[in-house]
Amino acid sequence: MDSHNYDADSTTDNWNNRPSNDNSETPTINSSNPNYNPVADSFAYKGKTELQQGQQQAENIVSKAKKLVQQHWEQTRHTLVRARKRVSEMVPQSANNLIYWRNPILSGLVFGVLLSVIITFMFLSSLAAISFWLLASLVVVGLYKLYNYVMLTFVGRAQDDIFDSMFPPDMSISEQKARDLANAIRVNGTSVLKHSRNLFLWKNLTTSIIFGVILFAFFYIGLSMNALTFVLIGLVFLFTVPKIYQVYQVPIDRTAKQVLDQINQLLAKVTPKSQNKPKKP
């Protein structure tokens, strides 16, 4: 009986003292960590996987944004070039001379008068502003006529009347000009009606959305300023920006190219380089 107990005890001791080198037979995960929790480990693994997926989606979004910026920049640049050529063809040569200040005295006079008219309408009622400028025109022409009369009577030197040359007595609207004007109104009016129909009837979803955003922006800006302020800004823009761009075209184009290059470099830095690495199978 004692020998059996000795054998059992020795067998138990040998089992307990046996080295744990047979982990390959019964593997356990993190068996050395007493605080191991398989549920938390599964959640951590799931969170890591979702984080990697989110990073991949962010990389794709940044890459697509870079392509869209480059594409839309090129489209915008070509559109501006075409619009500039079209406007140059539509605008008469006399208006181009005024805008580009080829005759500084005349351009300054026209710009000053138009600026004064807009400011007058901003601070006075329409009736008062119209009456004021008609009265000012009448007074200026009267003073000029009085000056010519004094020069002719007391000095004996006659001068050409610039107003008579500007407004000849046989002023009239020819039938050809009337037909051209009516045809232009018909063609442009038809085009405006077709575009308005496509916009308000949502024939093109993207165009209608962009038009709505523009209208909302004008509504938001119009809460703080009126239409005459836009007209004033447009007038200043018209008489300054074209001339500035004509004089400083080279440095402006160089600066715009540098800004675009910096945007592309920033997008390239944001886009991780891991996209170019081959994925592990």
Q: Virtual CA dihedral for 93, 98, 103, 107, nearest 10 degrees?
A: 160
User: Do 139 and 218 share a structural domain?
Assistant: yes
The pLDDT mean for the chain works out to: 78
Domain membership of residue 235 as a residue range: 103-160+196-266
Confidence of residue 72 (pLDDT cuts 50, 70, 90): low
Confidence of residue 75 (pLDDT cuts 50, 70, 90): low
Does the reported pTM lie above 0.75? no
- Beta carbons of 264 and 66 less than 8 angstroms apart: yes
User: Do 235 and 143 share a structural domain?
Assistant: yes
How many domains is the chain built from?
Answer: 2
Q: Please classify residue 238 by burial: count the beta carbons closer than 10 Å to its beta carbon, then call 0-12 exposed, 13-18 middle and 19+ buried.
A: middle
In a domain, 238, yes or no: yes
In a domain, 97, yes or no: no
Higher pLDDT among residues 69 and 205, named by residue? 205
Length of the chain measured in residues: 281
Last residue of one domain, picked from the residues 32, 59, 90: 90
User: Do 152 and 45 share a structural domain?
Assistant: no
User: Do 257 and 201 share a structural domain?
Assistant: yes
Secondary structure class of 102 (helix, strand, coil): coil
Rounded average pLDDT over 30-40: 57
- Beta carbons of 161 and 148 less than 8 angstroms apart: yes
User: Do 204 and 125 share a structural domain?
Assistant: yes
Q: Please classify residue 267 by burial: count the beta carbons closer than 10 Å to its beta carbon, then call 0-12 exposed, 13-18 middle and 19+ buried.
A: middle
pLDDT at 1: 46
Q: What is the CA 250 to chain-centroid distance, rounded?
A: 22
In a domain, 183, yes or no: no
Range among 2-11, 21-30, 37-46 with highest mean pLDDT value: 37-46
pLDDT at 118: 93
In a domain, 35, yes or no: no
In a domain, 188, yes or no: no
CB atoms < 10 A from the CB of 121, how many? 19
- Beta carbons of 144 and 251 less than 8 angstroms apart: no
Q: How many whole angstroms separate alpha carbon 81 and alpha carbon 84? A: 5
User: Do 212 and 143 share a structural domain?
Assistant: yes
User: Do 58 and 137 share a structural domain?
Assistant: no
pLDDT at 171: 82
Rounded average pLDDT over 144-163: 85
Higher pLDDT among residues 78 and 221, named by residue? 221
> Does 230 score more than 80 pLDDT?
yes
Confidence of residue 3 (pLDDT cuts 50, 70, 90): very low
Rg (CA), the chain: 41
In a domain, 18, yes or no: no
Tens digit of pLDDT for each residue in 158-178?
Answer: 777 788 888 888 888 889 989
User: Do 134 and 62 share a structural domain?
Assistant: no
Rounded average pLDDT over 145-155: 88
